[in-house]
Structure 1
Amino acid sequence: MGHSGGSDRVVVSPTGWVAQQARLYEESGGTSGTTVMGAPCLLLDYQGRRSGTWRRTVLIYGRDGEDYLVVASNGGAPAHPAWYLNLVEKPEVRLRVGPERFAAHAEPLSAADKRRVWPGLVELFPQYATYQKKTDRDIPVVRLHRTGD
Structure 2
Amino acid sequence: MRDATARRLSRLHAAVYRLTGGRIGRRLVRNDMLVLTTTGSRTGRPHTVPLLYLRDGDALVVIASWGGRPQHPQWYTNLVANPRATVQVDSRRWTVRARTATPDERAVWWPRVLATYKGYRLYESNTDRVIPVVFLEPER
Please, what TM-score do these two structures have when normalized by structure 1? 0.87
Within a 5 Å distance, the mapping from 1:1-149 to structure 2 comes to 15-147=7-139
Measured against aligned partners, the alpha-carbon deviations of 1:81-109 in whole angstroms (never above 9, x if no partner) come to 11101100100000001121000000000
More displaced, 30-39 or 63-72? 30-39
Q: Which runs of 5+ in 2 are unaligned?
A: 1-5
Percent of aligned pairs sharing the same letter: 33
What amino acid maps onto 1:145 in structure 2? E
CA–CA distance in structure 1, aligned partners of residues 90 and 21 of structure 2: 7
Give every structure 1 segment of 4 or more consecutive aligned residues whose post-TM-superposition deviation is greater than 4 Å.
none
Measured against aligned partners, the alpha-carbon deviations of 1:97-144 in whole angstroms (never above 9, x if no partner) come to 112100000000001001101111111111111111111100001000
Q: Which runs of 5+ in 1 are unaligned?
A: 1-13
Per the TM alignment, residue 16 of structure 1 is displaced from its structure 2 partner at its CA by: 2.2
Please, what TM-score do these two structures have when normalized by structure 2? 0.92
Residue aligned with 2:135, SS:
strand
CA–CA distance in structure 2, aligned partners of residues 96 and 19 of structure 1: 14
What amino acid maps onto 2:128 in structure 1? D
What amino acid maps onto 2:104 in structure 1? A
More displaced, 87-96 or 139-148? 139-148
Per the TM alignment, residue 21 of structure 1 is displaced from its structure 2 partner at its CA by: 1.0
Give the count of matched residue pairs.
Answer: 136
More displaced, 87-96 or 57-66? 57-66
CA-atom RMSD in angstroms: 1.5
